[in-house]
Structure 1
Amino acid sequence: MTASDPATPRVTTPFTAASTAAEVVDGIDLTGRRALVTGGASGIGVETARALAGAGAEVTLAVRNPEAGRRTAEEITATTGNKQVLVAPLDLADQSSVASFTDAWDGPLHLLVNNAGLMASPEMRTPEGWEMQFATNHLGHFALTTGLHRALAAAGGARVVAVSSSAHLQSPVVFEDIHFRERAYEPWAAYGQSKTANVLFAVEATRRWADDGITANALMPGAIRTNLQRYVTPEELDRMRARTGSATAVVWKTPEQGAATSVLLATSPLLAGVGGRYFEDCNEAGPHEPGTRRGVAAYALDPEAAVRLWRVSVETLAG
């Protein structure tokens, strides 16, 4: 059931913005399931991994800093009692790192949470010349997920979770100049289009891989104070809010609350067979409400844009 099917109602759950990851996974047994969380050593990635491990899953933290990953894994094991918390190096901005990771993965993968990200950074580029936010947030996860397709298909009923953002409302994917080679670089526009790309990926992955039993959904975790905002000052956040026309104050979530929607999409029976959708505060979002940061932009769920993005991504990675 995808978002483009008018016959399928919007998914609602008993959970809210105040729910925590532990609450949404309560009563769900993930014993025998294998999960992978990118960026699992910081921010909401830690709490996502902790909730999955607490429910019995084998959890791999895919991280740029293996030492930080090991410290996190030990802490999660100490709090959950689950000794199957593993660590593997992964730099999403380095395609050789992504290829090494996918080549080394063995066996099925039931739950993939594409959580890592870069937000509103100064202009940076990969060695290929790709804009760094798009390269990390979208292309790296695209290469990772497609590289793990066989493992996901082998799991039967695998779920892919793409952590997007309300910042997707800042920009569609500007196909004419994705990498800011012609237009002036703007950090929030770059971040916004990378987060739109996360949603479009979920739309097209669900369409392409439905016969393999794989579904993908995207989400907005909410506003959480984490290392993701290391490039963002309070003044920057105010300017971003002004551009979206939002007059409402930011309601900050704890990391445990911020991880709840990711964990819901990865584990809840309410999401069985559901894909290609965008969620916020543990429920499927409606259309964007002007003057707010709520809802999903129509361009982020556009199936034609999703097909185009997939094609462009394949061509870009092929060089």
Structure 2
Amino acid sequence: MSVPQTPRTFGASTTAAEVIDGVDLHGRRAVVTGASSGIGVETARALAAAGADVTLAVRNTDAGARVAAQLEVELPTTSGTLTVRRLDLADRSTVEAFVAAWDGPLHILVNNAGVMALPELTRTPDGRETQFAVNHLGHFALAVGLRPALATAQGARIVSVSSIGHLFSPVIFDDLDYRFRPYDPWTSYGQSKSANVLFAIGAAERWANDGITANALMPGNIADTSLARYMGSEQLAGFIETTGLALPPQKSVEQGAATSVLLAASPTVEGITGHYFEDCAPAQTVTERAGAIAGVAPYALDRENAARLWAVSETLVH
């Protein structure tokens, strides 16, 4: 798996519109989860603007419909179609229904939806800790279910939206659901974001013969996104104090979607798989967490961890 060289003009300040400029996605079909707010909207906008037929996979279909209607007004007439379908990643039945209803090839799957720093321990109906269940298990089940459609596309791309938050914690395999250790919003978020990277590593290895590539990314510290709706000033201060980390420079939503769009559609990363990107480029490995505002932890790229997580996830979603 070679490391790509992205254009020098792509970087932290690049927008999704700049990444997609000149790319033709007519005839391609895409699914973007969590496409009713934040970088999900901008990812869907960019892919549709390039001609892709985009399905907004959202928990709140009314919100999704409002986004689709607004995008249809704003996008050029040459854009692809926008479809809204329900997907609640905490509810396995909606994932199964989404997969069952899908027909034909799928060229792009952007696993974008997520929750962050839930202040109290909560569990999904099947007993899983919510952040791990929504951010990882729901997306895992979705991707596995859609694998035949991705394989049919012959060159499909999976984009797994992770975060610098993966530095907060590796996946704690012996206590995924906080049944023995005290719940902490940040380590919970961290292990779910580590899982997002490990999923991409696992899918890249397992599905290469299907022509499927899979990569993970850090979108950035995004302003004005609903992901941070549980994170007040006190939580933010506690996060910085307890982790020894610092927040990366803030980005706009349009900038935050750029790396997702790069991995979903740019010809500059054609055939690249099993990597973690940030600021539209492959990330460097972090050797010490203290003070880090970028980079990827070795445990999130570890193939043994990826294989173990895959096996555990298969058990949990069946």
The SS at the match of 1:107 is coil
The residue type paired with residue 60 of structure 1 is T
Q: In the aligned structure 2, how far is the partner of 1:44 from the partner of 1:316?
A: 29
1:8-64 residue CA offsets vs partner (Å, 9 max, x unmatched): 345443201100000011000000000100000101100000000110100000001
1:5 is aligned to none
SS in 2 for 1:148: helix
Amino acid of the structure 1 residue aligned with 2:285: P
Q: 1:60 to 1:9 in 2, by over 3 A?
A: closer
Q: Which residue of 1 aligns with 2:109?
A: 112
Q: Determine the C-alpha separation between the residues in 1 that align with 2:297 and 2:214.
A: 18
Please say if residues 4 and 268 of structure 2, whose CA atoms lie closer than 8 Å, have aligned partners that are also in contact: no
Q: What do residues 164-194 of structure 1 show as CA deviations (whole Å, max 9, x unaligned)? A: 0000000000000011011010010000000
Q: What does residue 67 of structure 1 align with?
A: 62
- Summarize the alignment of residues 134-153 of structure 1 with structure 2, pairs less than 5 Å apart: 134-153=132-151
User: Which residue of the partner structure matches residue 99 of structure 1?
Assistant: 96
Local SS of the residue matching 2:55: strand
Distance 1:223 1:159, change over 3 A: same
CA contact 1:77–1:83 (8 Å) conserved in 2: no
Deviant stretches of 4+, over 4 Å: none
Partner of 1:42: 37
Q: What TM-score do the two structures reach when normalised by structure 2? A: 0.95
Equivalents in 2 of 1:241, 1:286: separation in Å?
21
Q: CA deviation at 1:235?
A: 2.6
Structure 2 counterpart of 1:226: 225
Aligned counterpart, 1:79: 74
Counterpart contact for 2:108–2:157, Cα < 8 Å: yes
* 1:80-229 → structure 2 map (5 Å cutoff): 80-81=75-76, 82=79, 84-121=81-118, 122-224=120-222, 225-229=224-228
Q: Secondary structure at the match of 1:60?
A: strand
The number of residues matched between the two structures is: 311
**2:47 & 2:3 partners in 1: Cα distance?**
27
**Post-superposition shift, 1:289?**
5.6
Give, in whole Å, the separation in 2 of the partners of 1:243 and 1:253.
Answer: 24
Letter in 1 for 2:170: P
Contact kept? 1:244, 1:292, Cα under 8 Å = no
CA–CA distance in structure 1, aligned partners of residues 90 and 311 of structure 2: 19
Q: Which residue in the other structure is 1:310 paired with? A: 310
Q: Quote how far apart the aligned CAs of 1:317 are.
A: 1.3
Aligned Cα root-mean-square deviation (Å) = 1.2
Residues in 1 aligned to 2:73 and 2:207: alpha-carbon distance in whole angstroms: 37
Distance 2:259 2:3 in 1: 19
Between the aligned partners of 2:16 and 2:4, the Cα distance in structure 1 is 21
CA distance in 2, matches of 1:70, 1:10: 37
CA deviation map 1:194-232 (0-9, x unaligned): 000000000010100000000100000001131111110
Contact 1:289 1:295 in 2 (8 A): no
> For each residue in 1:223-279, what CA deviation from the matched residue of structure 2 results, as whole angstroms up to 9, or x when unmatched?
1131111110123223223333235x5421111000000000001112111111100
- Report the CA distance shift for 1:83/1:71 in structure 2 as closer, same or farther (over 3 A): farther
Question: C-alpha distance in 1, partners of 2:234/2:136?
Answer: 26
Map Cα deviations across residues 133-172 of structure 1 (whole Å, 9 max, x no partner): 0000000000000000000000010000000000000000
Question: How many Å separate the matches in 2 of 1:167 and 1:194?
Answer: 9
Match status 1:13 vs 2:7:
yes
**How far, CA to CA, are the matches of 2:28 and 2:83 in structure 1?**
14
1:235 maps to what in 2?
Answer: 234
Query: Secondary structure at 2:207's aligned position in 1?
Result: helix
- Separation in 2, partners of 1:69, 1:182: 38
Q: What whole-Å deviation, never above 9, does each CA across 1:70-125 have from its counterpart, x for those lacking one? A: 11011111111336111000000000010000000000000000000000102110
Report the Cα offset of residue 127 of structure 1: 1.5
Partners of 2:54 and 2:299 in 1: how far apart?
33
